[in-house]
Structure 1
Amino acid sequence: MPQPESSIWGNILTCAEIGLHVYGIMAERNSGIVVDADYAKEVLSEEALQAGESQGDHIYFDDAKSIIPAYELLKNDAITDPEFNEWCGSPEKLAQDGKFFAPEYFGGMTPPATTPWGNITESQEFYNGISMVNHDGEWALAVHQTIAKHCLSEMAHEVAAGQENYLFYPLDACSIPVYELSASHPAMLEQIINEDSLVHTLCEDHPVYVTMHNLHVEEWGRIYDQPAPRSLFLQIQLDQEARFPVTEQYEEFPQSHQDSISLRERPDNFFEPTEEPEW
């Protein structure tokens, strides 16, 4: 079967054969893996086939779902392109990333059992691999390493405490991961009850981060300080403050800065990770 000349994603920009009847395609509106339909039925499981979209003589797996056929083809030594093979690594590596890109096939991420400061006594899961955990009465944000790899900046990694497969952030040190995850995970965005407080906390605690961020984004996406309390941008922080109040004074900022606040618009659906698999 010859390689496809058109695709469900529009005109094909690049097409490379990465295995027998298997193609890595980049098109106008999307990219991913395309497999000859008859061959796919021979080498892929029914569960994998259901993750693709069949049209004509081929089955299409978009960016996120492509990790499913890649995993099964790699296990069967059906990937012949050496560069793609090297990129995939081992089936175990793909399976780990698959818990992020395609949890319906690979399964969800195992919740953390302990923190760097003690065992977990209570937890609140926001999303697969993201939760608030309680240790000895103290709450912390827990982010799975796989999510952190694809969604968090290097600075977010630097301010974390690691334990097994998770990064942990105490409530008074979680502004960077909360801000960054709010761009990719609506479930995290929904936890923010005071955007001004989040912005003020970033400016107060991480001025270098704010400066670097503002240098690399358009004007509308920049962070400007706001008159707001520090570290009261999550409901769980507000609940803790009600139990153990700490008085904080903050100054008013110019109205021009107040009008320039720019957090993300709330997306209707899951926003694709910043580093998708490149097929």
Structure 2
Amino acid sequence: MRSDNVIAMAIAALLLSAVTPAIHAQSGRHVLVAGPVVARTLTYGKEPRQAATLFTREGARRAPLIVYLHGGGWSAGSPRDGSRGAQTGHWTRNGYAYATVGYRYVPAATAEDQLRDVAQAIALLRRQAGVDGSRIALIGHSSGGTMAAQLGTDPNWLEKAGVPFTALKGVVLLDPSVLDIPPVMAQLGAPIVERYLRPAFGDDPVRQSELSPVKHVEPPNAPAWAIVADANNGFASAQGSDFAAGLIGAGASAKVIPIAGTTHMRINNEIGQRDDRATAEIDAFFAGIFPEVRRPRFR
């Protein structure tokens, strides 16, 4: 089922994820929240990368929190990949609080350290003014999608940070890098496996399985999932379909949404552009899990 060509597509996706350009603007299709965007930088640890930026609208009430996790093969990328353009304006204008999260990189930190970092950041973000900490959603691109899936299927990461797992209402995976790690790691000598995955996941197949979201689909999971994938990325679609099937079997709502005419990078970069299909799908997904956001949110 997973041919060498399919694995090669995954490896190419990981390489592309190392740098993510800016994101552009789109007006929201339902609730419009007035007021300028207010940005707050919050630190949750001593290392420079242990920081998050929270974006809210001046004058907005408490809003559901959308948390963005950037890609970069676990060893690169930047949280600014989720805020260079108008993504902050798009989400806050539509009635959400929005945050981008930094985390330490491999090999100075482990993949487990990164998940602990993100969980600690979410614990801090949910306590901030303007945030409804009982309603949280994740968006993760590429390796950030893998991390979002790990957090959304294994309650231990959030709960150990003091975040009730029931607060996580939905997860969006943007062209995730890998959801079942051992089959990819088996491609010995593949350059991107050696450069990115081996430093992140090591050589122990037990550890690799423990960090594979597809191995954690037994309940509990986040209740709603959207896997938004480049239609040409057969690997993301194949692993995403297996993952979604497992989630559905465990009682969650999950669907794979292939996006034609895009690439691994563009599917992230074009979120927020007018008439962008991926944006429309994510908007609809969030409107489904946060229906109250359709109402204006002024003081």
Q: TM-score range by the shorter chain?
A: under 0.3
What TM-score comes out, normalization by structure 1 length?
0.26
The structure number with the bigger radius of gyration is 1
What TM-score comes out, normalization by structure 2 length?
0.25
Structure number with greater CO (CA < 8 Å, separation at least 6) is 2
